[in-house]
């Protein structure tokens, strides 16, 4: 009997020690942190479109209005509504003026999207919505399209355009987004491959070995495509937590980013 009781006590002590170790601050499990290395710009949209990275790349708001975020907190995201959009004219947009910091060869763009519609009916020839892109003045040199993230009823696309508009690559996920639901979208490029991540997981890749167009002086548009011949492919929905890095985040960093922002 004593032997049995001693065995029970020993087992209980071992279980307690294991639990204590797992709860110890010296355990291998450490909380994920926001990746600050290489951060160019960060837009939390907490009451405004200012850049919190320290580089002061503040956005200018045209029509978009503050709204609730994925946690239903007020004034923590921006709403983009294309119900009053007209052909070629500026609609709801957040424009980030040009900075030399934007001219990079490696990049990560991260954001949260809550789509209400797939595309504006005025763009029937190009039925997709632009969430974010750098395409201020077209393909002309030294300006030109560089990168962007778009979606339509059947897919999500992350794209890169090479120097002076020559060559491009599209990483396309053929899994459509469900309307009225929040998604975390991330695109990366490391001069070898374009990658698209959805909700922390790799969704599409496209090999492409080229330098991006880094000779332009165009800014960044959020909510529509700002082009030489007008404003197109407006987004209808909410956008939040936009961030841009001058490097390709690792899959582990992207999974952690999704976890801490979700």
Domain membership of residue 95 (yes or no) is yes
Give the pLDDT band (50/70/90) at residue 183. very high
* Structural domain that includes position 65: 39-261
- In sequence order, the 6+-apart residues with CB closer than 8 A to the CB of 173 are 155, 156, 157, 196, 198, 203, 204
Q: Which pTM was predicted? A: 0.86
Flag whether 141 is in a domain: yes
243 lies in some domain:
yes
Tally the domains of the chain.
1
Tokens of 156: 């999500």
Answer yes or no: is 34 within a domain. Answer: no
Q: Is residue 12 part of a domain?
A: no
Q: Read off the pLDDT of residues 53-88 as tens digits, 9 standing for 90 and up.
A: 999 999 999 999 999 999 999 999 999 999 889 888
Assign residue 135 the CATH number of its domain.
2.60.120.200
The answer to whether residue 7 sits within a structural domain is: no
Q: How far is CA 103 from CA 91, 99, 114, 209, 237, in A?
A: 26, 8, 28, 17, 28
Residue 13 within any structural domain of the chain: no
In a domain, 11, yes or no: no
Q: How confident is the model at residue 203 (pLDDT cuts 50, 70, 90)?
A: very high
């Amino acid at each position: 009997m004593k032997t049995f009781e001693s065995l029970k006590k020993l087992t209980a002590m071992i279980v307690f020690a294991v639990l204590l170790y797992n709860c110890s601050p010296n355990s291998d499990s450490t909380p994920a942190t926001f990746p600050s290395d290489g951060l160019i710009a960060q837009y939390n949209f907490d009451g405004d479109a200012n850049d919190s990275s320290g580089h002061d790349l503040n956005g200018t708001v045209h029509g978009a209005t503050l709204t609730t975020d994925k946690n239903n907190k007020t004034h923590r995201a921006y709403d983009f509504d294309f119900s009053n959009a007209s052909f070629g004219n500026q609609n709801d947009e957040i424009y980030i003026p040009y900075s030399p910091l934007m001219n990079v060869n490696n990049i990560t763009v991260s954001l949260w999207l809550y789509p209400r519609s797939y595309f504006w009916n005025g763009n029937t020839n190009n039925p997709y919505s632009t969430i974010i892109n750098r395409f201020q003045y077209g393909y002309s040199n030294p300006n030109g399209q560089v990168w962007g993230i778009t979606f339509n009823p059947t897919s999500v696309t992350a794209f890169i355009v090479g120097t002076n508009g020559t060559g491009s690559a599209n990483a396309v996920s053929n899994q459509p987004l469900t309307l009225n639901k929040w998604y975390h979208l991330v695109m990366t490029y490391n001069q070898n491959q374009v990658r698209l991540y959805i909700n922390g997981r790799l969704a599409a890749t496209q090999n492409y070995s080229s330098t991006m167009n880094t000779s332009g002086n165009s800014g960044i548009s959020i909510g529509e495509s700002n082009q030489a011949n007008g404003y197109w492919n407006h987004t209808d929905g909410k956008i939040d937590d936009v961030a841009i890095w001058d490097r390709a985040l690792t899959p582990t960093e992207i999974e952690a980013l999704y976890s801490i922002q979700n």
